[in-house]
């Protein structure tokens, strides 16, 4: 593999690279699968930083004229905003790899996908023998009586509502762009309004299942995986999952652009991406990574072929353009 020459040549001028990510189990997985092997391959130390995803922290650093972070991991909305505002460097994809190898929604003019995660439907297999099979079952209170947990956010909920109401996956956002489609989504949510328990932090969804307060809940797949590692028997309904991703980005004014690009190139090599799946159940953004993922890990990934039955990718551009107006309507709907 030609990683040594690709990485080492541009960065010999420095012996460390500052990389900022989200901390916790996610950054621990990056440390084991990416940072440590990068240092072994190049001799360049990764100086790790953590943040909570605040774009203001990145902007303040750039505006001060002292960009101390070389590469930052951002979520999709932050990437969109940062691209629009010019706070991230454009990506030269000829230096990274063929974009057609990337899963839909994981490439950008100023960001390179890192991982794919999913919002899924989940239930407790220890309490529900014949569990839900599709998102339609979330709305079937006769077959599955009881409360259901939902993220207190219109994003994902409106998509799930339309999917459950029979809108084809490829037509969901076209429908949401119309007044009729929005009305249809809210009307579907109305059918379970009195059965909803809202969660706001990712840790709350598995807690609701564990306590028995809800019979099923939407959740982030990594949270369900972690609960099962602690002894739970939570089951994921992969059908109708909503995919989303994080991205590597280079803050404007990074001190050595070539070094930043070289790190990203290494971090998204197919085998390196696959290595992350050993530590956390987030899918590789490149299709060519699949052959390096162990079968035992593949079953937990949203991007595995057996789990990608009917899915959609969260359209963050749609939410950037229409989110404020829809959130106002959602807040009014909640208060009714």
Q: How far apart are CA 41 and CA 263, in angstroms?
A: 11
> Is 3.40.190.10 the CATH number for 3-110+250-298?
yes
Residues of the chain with CATH 3.40.190.10: 3-110+250-298, 117-243+309-335
Output the pLDDT for position 130: 94
CA distances for 320 relative to 20, 174, 263, angstroms: 24, 15, 29
- Judge whether 117 and 244 are in contact, CB under 8 Å: yes
Helices (H) and strands (E) in the chain — how many of each? 14, 11
| CA 45 to the chain's CA centroid | 27
- pLDDT digits (tens), the chain, 336 positions: 334 344 444 434 579 999 999 988 899 999 999 999 999 999 999 999 999 888 999 999 999 999 999 999 999 999 999 999 999 999 999 989 888 899 888 999 999 999 999 999 999 999 998 999 999 999 999 999 999 999 999 999 999 999 999 999 999 999 999 999 999 999 999 999 999 999 998 889 999 999 999 999 999 999 999 899 999 999 999 999 999 999 999 999 999 999 999 999 999 999 999 999 999 999 999 999 999 999 999 999 999 888 988 899 999 999 999 999 999 999 999 998
Output the pLDDT for position 201: 87
Output the pLDDT for position 244: 95
The residue count for the chain:
336
Pairing label, strands 16-21, 45-50: parallel
Output the pLDDT for position 308: 84
Task: Retrieve residue 31's tokens.
Answer: 């440390």
Three-state DSSP class for 120? strand
What DSSP character marks residue 263? H
Q: Which of 37, 79, 35 is nearest to 55 (CA)?
A: 79
| CA 83 to the chain's CA centroid | 18
Give the homologous superfamily in CATH for domain 117-243+309-335. Answer: Periplasmic binding protein-like II (3.40.190.10)
H or E stretch covering 116: strand 111-124
Q: How far apart are CA 124 and CA 57, in angstroms?
A: 39
Q: How far apart are CA 248 and CA 57, in angstroms?
A: 16
Q: How far apart are CA 36 and CA 122, in angstroms?
A: 34
**What's the pTM?**
0.86
- Judge whether 91 and 98 are in contact, CB under 8 Å: no
- Judge whether 220 and 172 are in contact, CB under 8 Å: no
Residue with tokens 């997985």: 29
- Judge whether 248 and 114 are in contact, CB under 8 Å: yes
């Amino acid at each position: 593999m030609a990683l040594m020459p690709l990485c080492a040549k541009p960065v010999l001028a420095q012996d460390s690279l500052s990389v900022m990510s989200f901390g916790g189990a996610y950054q621990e997985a990056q440390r084991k699968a990416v940072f440590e092997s990068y240092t072994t391959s190049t001799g360049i130390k990764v100086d790790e930083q953590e943040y909570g995803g605040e774009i203001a922290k990145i902007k303040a650093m750039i505006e001060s004229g002292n960009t101390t972070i070389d590469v930052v991991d951002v979520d999709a909305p932050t990437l969109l905003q940062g691209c629009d505002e010019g706070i991230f460097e454009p990506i030269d994809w000829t230096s990274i790899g063929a974009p057609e190898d990337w899963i839909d929604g994981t490439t950008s003019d100023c960001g390179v996908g890192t991982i794919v995660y999913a919002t899924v439907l989940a239930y407790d297999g220890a309490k529900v023998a014949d569990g839900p099979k599709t998102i339609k079952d979330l709305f079937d209170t006769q077959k599955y009586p009881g409360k259901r947990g939902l993220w207190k956010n219109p994003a994902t909920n409106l998509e799930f509502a339309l999917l459950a109401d029979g809108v084809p996956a490829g037509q969901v956002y076209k429908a949401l762009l119309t007044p009729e489609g929005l009305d249809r989504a809210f009307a579907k949510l109305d059918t379970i309004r009195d059965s909803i328990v809202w969660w706001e932090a990712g840790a709350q969804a598995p807690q609701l299942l564990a306590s028995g307060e809800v019979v099923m809940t939407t959740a982030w797949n990594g949270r369900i995986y972690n609960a099962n590692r602690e002894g739970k028997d939570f089951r994921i309904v992969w059908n109708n999952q909503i995919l989303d991703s994080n991205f590597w980005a280079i803050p404007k004014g990074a001190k050595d652009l070539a070094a930043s690009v070289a790190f990203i190139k290494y971090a998204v090599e197919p085998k390196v991406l696959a290595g992350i799946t050993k530590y956390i159940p987030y899918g590789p953004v490149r299709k060519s990574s699949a052959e390096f993922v162990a079968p035992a890990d593949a079953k937990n990934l949203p991007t595995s072929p057996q789990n990608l039955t009917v899915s959609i990718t969260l359209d963050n551009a749609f939410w950037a353009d229409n989110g404020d107006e829809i959130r106002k309507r959602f807040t009014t709907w909640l208060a009714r």
